[in-house]
Amino acid sequence: MTLEQARALDAADPLAHLRDRFALPGGVIYLDGNSLGPLTHAGRAAVADCVDRQWGDRLIRSWNEGWIDAPVRLAMKVAPLIGAAPHEVIVGDTTSANLFKALVAALRIDPERRVVVSELGNFPTDLHIAEGAVACVPGATLRAVPRADLEAALGHDTAVLMLTHVHYKTAERFDMAAWTARAHQAGALMLWDLSHSAGAVPVALNAAGADLAVGCTYKYLNGGPGAPAFLHVAERWHEHLESPLSGWMGHAEPFAFADRYQPAPGMKRWLVGTPPMLAMASLEGALDLWADIDWPALTAKSAALFDILARAGEAAGLPCVTPLDPAGRGSHISFRHPHAYALAQALIERGVIGDFRDPDILRLGLTPLYLSHEDVWRAGERLREVMAAEPWREERFATRLAVT
Amino acid sequence: MTLEQARALDAADPLAHLRDRFALPGGVIYLDGNSLGPLTHAGRAAVADCVDRQWGDRLIRSWNEGWIDAPVRLAMKVAPLIGAAPHEVIVGDTTSANLFKALVAALRIDPERRVVVSELGNFPTDLHIAEGAVACVPGATLRAVPRADLEAALGHDTAVLMLTHVHYKTAERFDMAAWTARAHQAGALMLWDLSHSAGAVPVALNAAGADLAVGCTYKYLNGGPGAPAFLHVAERWHEHLESPLSGWMGHAEPFAFADRYQPAPGMKRWLVGTPPMLAMASLEGALDLWADIDWPALTAKSAALFDILARAGEAAGLPCVTPLDPAGRGSHISFRHPHAYALAQALIERGVIGDFRDPDILRLGLTPLYLSHEDVWRAGERLREVMAAEPWREERFATRLAVT
């Protein structure tokens, strides 16, 4: 592809106008929106309003003027992005905490089913939290196996199959309907981690018949660093599952100040402590962007951006570990190279921000809301330059930063 | 006391200059800083910097430029306010989540000790979370008893005594050293909830020999609505306790992306998910205020403000349920009245913001950093007016707001 061809694609891009909704810095091509989405103007304005007017001027009164409803109000905006009904979602806490709640609750349904099945190499917090969750339910265990052995690992003892829909390294995407059906066939619940899916690919939890889902909002949903996560529980489970983190915000009447815990009906029972309103405001502002999104246009552009980088990687001799079939992947592209860390750092020096994932993955996020085809074409050029420059020979890349 | 006397106290107040650090709205006297502390100018500036520069301009790079260290950096600022060493504190999650972690960990120390002892009428989330925590440890139970029976409830089966240092309704304060000694005498750990203590009264966890503590930062520490909470674990327990919420941020090497969980040394093992940076920034800005605080002046002013309102309440015929001995209370004053809800609403109409706690408590926070003696004197005058006006006869106060 030539620069002119990339520009021609931009000229015809129905999403091009959305870039103006983002406060992107000059001089960088940001290919890390799959790790931390950028600031939106609406998010910035929402935080300023939350700080100055809601907190500064209205003070405690703001709890009655919208704050207390934020976890439910935001859920209504997240639900359509994951194919769930609004009353099946709640926004709050971290992905890890929500995973813990969902896993412990699922493990308590049936004493004959006390195994969590998951994939080795899943995003670490999923496996780590599953270790913590099984330790909270007598007889429960975690069975983490390679992807090829997942189906065989399901059985009469399985409480829940926990999978990450889009893999954080490779961007491989599970077939949600097929795997949910396999879990159900074994009599197990299906729990999806949508952290790399929400806002990246169309997600249809209810169409697939999924039981539980969690996910983060600071990647493709641009909620801000450490923005609150979401939890989905299919309606049929609402009255059968209870949160082990039985905090006052999940009480049926939080302000009755009762000694005994009584879970709220619906999704509110999954709330724990006081919601972080500044973080909620930032997310709420950013979510408004999604009201008018044309999903077919979004996925078509994601695929077009992928192709530009896949070709550049191929020309540079970099093996791509992400599936070439768009239906089989998320919205990032990953290359394997023994010196991936040095490659990522050298790209950052040249204004192309991607990231590195241990031990050998260069990961580049493709976010059609604010990246142009020209951006990605230029990033491809930088990639080819960097590969030619062999930055791994440079001493300064010998020591890794703490966060990579 | 006369207005002139109150003004004379203000003229001699060594803390009076601190009011300028707060962005308080005009036209209100804010006696609810014990529920939600007001915005500080430093907190507002810190949020703006976090949004515009750290997130907006630096994007993902900010994780290496300060974000990842925030839970430890903020802990260093909280530690002196609670009498703990900096390496014994971590900032993150909610008070409820931290309580859950600490209780489950404490219950796992000794299979012969599986009882959490606490007080009926404790802040609800403490008891609710304890219910959730005991359900995660085989054989564990919660023994909640009236205050008078607490000592007798401790025994050979007690894992942990969980008390809230300053009571959220009455402001009664436990003698931290005496109760910690009683817990230890029974062979139990002592866990303090400092939500109404941190920034309100001097707290000396290590001098008292306490084992564990949690607390919130959105009250007297002015961190913002839903600001991150803190967790304290005495150093002697660091290698013996593990978090049931074993999330990736608590891993010894979060960015090695290992399948198996390995807890970090020290307090980092209590971290769970990605820290909420906007909320952390707000708190960090607000905490800087405490570097130069003269604690004897603060407690003396809290007592002086208390006396002004106690006298006004007495003159109005309102029974005070808060101890008159300053050493036996926190920094709010509560009155009992069968129509406390209507009283609180009528005060708000007159520009005095306090709150109501079910069923019959009018609660007024006394925060010496930004309240003047004149403010509190005027609030006392409004209180007398309101009592004379008998607002509980007014129809419009018959229906309570959701959050009271």
Q: Residue range A33-61: average pLDDT?
A: 98
Residue B261 bears catalytic tag: no
A196 in Cβ contact with A164 (< 8 Å): yes
Q: In this complex, do A63 and B224 lie within 8 Å of one another by their Cβ atoms?
A: no
- C-alpha atoms less than 13 angstroms from C-alpha of A350 in its C-beta half-sphere: 21
Cα separations in angstroms, A375 against A7, A343, B344: 10, 18, 58
Residue B218 bears catalytic tag: yes
**Percent composition of chain A: helix, strand, coil (DSSP 3-state, to 5):** 45, 15, 40
Name the helix (H) or strand (E) containing B214: strand B212-215
- Mean pLDDT per segment of 10 residues, for chain B of length 404 residues? 96 98 97 98 98 98 97 98 98 98 98 98 97 98 98 98 98 98 98 98 98 98 98 98 98 93 98 98 97 95 98 96 98 97 95 94 98 98 95 83 64
Separation CA B102–CA A124 (nearest Å): 23
Q: In this complex, do A56 and B226 lie within 8 Å of one another by their Cβ atoms?
A: no
pLDDT(A327) > 60 = yes
Q: Which of A255, A269, A278 to mutate to test the interface with B (most CBs of B within 10 A)?
A: A278
Q: Residue range A46-61: average pLDDT?
A: 98
Of residues B48, B68, B261, nearest to A131 (C-beta): B261
A24 in Cβ contact with A388 (< 8 Å): no
Residue B402's pLDDT is 63
Residue A197's pLDDT is 98
Q: Which of B157, B193, B211, B375 is catalytic?
A: B193
Q: In this complex, do B225 and A274 lie within 8 Å of one another by their Cβ atoms?
A: yes
Number of A/B CB contacts below 8 angstroms equals 291
Separation CA B189–CA B186 (nearest Å): 9
Give the gap in angstroms from C-alpha B240 to the nearest C-alpha of chain A: 16
Residues of A with catalytic roles: 123, 193, 218-219, 363
Separation CA A365–CA A332 (nearest Å): 4
Q: What is the CA radius of gyration of chain B?
A: 22
The per-residue DSSP string of A157-222 comes to TEEEEEEESB-TTT-BB--HHHHHHHHHHTT-EEEEE-TTTTTTS---HHHHT--EEEE-SSSTT-
Residue B404's pLDDT is 54
Q: Nearest residue on chain A to B128, judged by CA atoms?
A: A261
Cα separations in angstroms, A51 against A42, A60, B26, B54, B275: 14, 12, 16, 17, 19
Q: In this complex, do A59 and B228 lie within 8 Å of one another by their Cβ atoms?
A: no
Q: Angle of helix A277-287 relative to helix A41-49, nearest 10 degrees? A: 150
State whether CATH 3.40.50.300 applies to domain B3-30+294-397: no
A245 in Cβ contact with A133 (< 8 Å): no
Separation CA B117–CA B189 (nearest Å): 10
Separation CA B343–CA A384 (nearest Å): 72
Report chain A residues whose CB lies below 8 A from the CB of B51. Answer: 39, 44, 47, 224, 282
B49 in Cβ contact with B285 (< 8 Å): no
Residue B219 bears catalytic tag: yes
Q: In this complex, do A273 and B225 lie within 8 Å of one another by their Cβ atoms?
A: no
B332 in Cβ contact with B366 (< 8 Å): yes
Grade residue A404 by pLDDT with cuts at 50, 70 and 90.
low
Q: What is the CA radius of gyration of chain A?
A: 22
Q: In this complex, do B25 and A56 lie within 8 Å of one another by their Cβ atoms?
A: yes
Residue B395's pLDDT is 85
The per-residue DSSP string of A53-104 comes to IIIIITGGGGGTTTTTTHHHHHHHHHHHHHT--GGGEEE-S-HHHHHHHHHH
The per-residue DSSP string of A248-267 comes to GGGBSSGGG--SS--BPSGG
Residues in chain B: 404
Q: What angle do CA A357, A323, B247 make, to 5 degrees?
A: 35
Q: In this complex, do B127 and A259 lie within 8 Å of one another by their Cβ atoms?
A: yes
Separation CA B335–CA B315 (nearest Å): 12
Report chain B residues whose CB lies below 8 A from the CB of A28. Answer: 59
**Percent composition of chain B: helix, strand, coil (DSSP 3-state, to 5):** 45, 15, 40
Closest by CA position to A37, among listed A388, A367, A258: A367
Return the domain boundaries, chain B.
3-30+294-397, 46-291
Residue B384 bears catalytic tag: no
Residue type (1 letter), B7: R
ipTM score above 0.90: yes
The per-residue DSSP string of B276-343 comes to -HHHHHHHHHHHGGGGG--HHHHHHHHHHHHHHHHHHHHHHTPPB-S-SSGGGB-SEEEEE-TTHHHH
A81 in Cβ contact with A216 (< 8 Å): no
Report chain B residues whose CB lies below 8 A from the CB of A138. Answer: 138
User: Which residues does residue A315 pair with via DSSP β-bridges, in sequence order?
Assistant: none
The per-residue DSSP string of B31-51 comes to --TTTSPPPBHHHHHHHHHII
Report chain A residues whose CB lies below 8 A from the CB of B402. Answer: 64, 68, 255
Of residues B51, B96, B257, nearest to A272 (C-beta): B96
Q: Nearest residue on chain A to B29, judged by CA atoms?
A: A59
Handedness of CA B337, B340, B346, B348 (dihedral sign): positive
pLDDT(A129) > 60 = yes
Task: Please indicate, yes or no, whether the overall pTM of this predicted structure exceeds 0.90.
Answer: yes
Q: How many CB atoms lie within 10 A of CB B2?
A: 8
Closest by CA position to B120, among listed B159, B150, B165: B150
Closest by CA position to A334, among listed A32, A126, A108, A52: A32
CA dihedral A145, A150, A155, A159 (to 10 degrees): 80
Separation CA A163–CA A193 (nearest Å): 6
Q: In this complex, do B402 and A255 lie within 8 Å of one another by their Cβ atoms?
A: yes
> Long-range CB contacts (< 8 A, 24+ apart) of A70-76?
A70/A275, A70/A277, A70/A280, A70/A284, A71/A228, A71/A249, A71/A268, A71/A271, A71/A275, A71/A280, A72/A267, A72/A268, A73/A284, A74/A228, A74/A230, A74/A280, A74/A283, A74/A284, A74/A287, A75/A230, A75/A267
Closest by CA position to A177, among listed A152, A195, A204, A149: A204
pLDDT(A348) > 70 = yes
Q: In this complex, do B25 and A138 lie within 8 Å of one another by their Cβ atoms?
A: no
Topology of domain A46-291 in CATH is Aspartate Aminotransferase; domain 2 (3.40.640)
Q: Which residues contact A178 (CB under 8 A, 6 or more apart)?
A: none
Residue type (1 letter), A336: R
Give the gap in angstroms from C-alpha A36 to the nearest C-alpha of chain B: 6
Grade residue A397 by pLDDT with cuts at 50, 70 and 90.
confident
Residue B323's pLDDT is 98
Separation CA B16–CA A231 (nearest Å): 46
pLDDT digits (tens, 9 = 90+) for B32-80: 999 999 999 999 999 999 999 999 999 999 999 999 999 999 999 999 9
DSSP state of A390: -
pLDDT(A398) > 80 = no
Of residues B39, B246, B251, nearest to A51 (C-beta): B39
Cα separations in angstroms, A404 against A239, A338, B62: 42, 15, 11
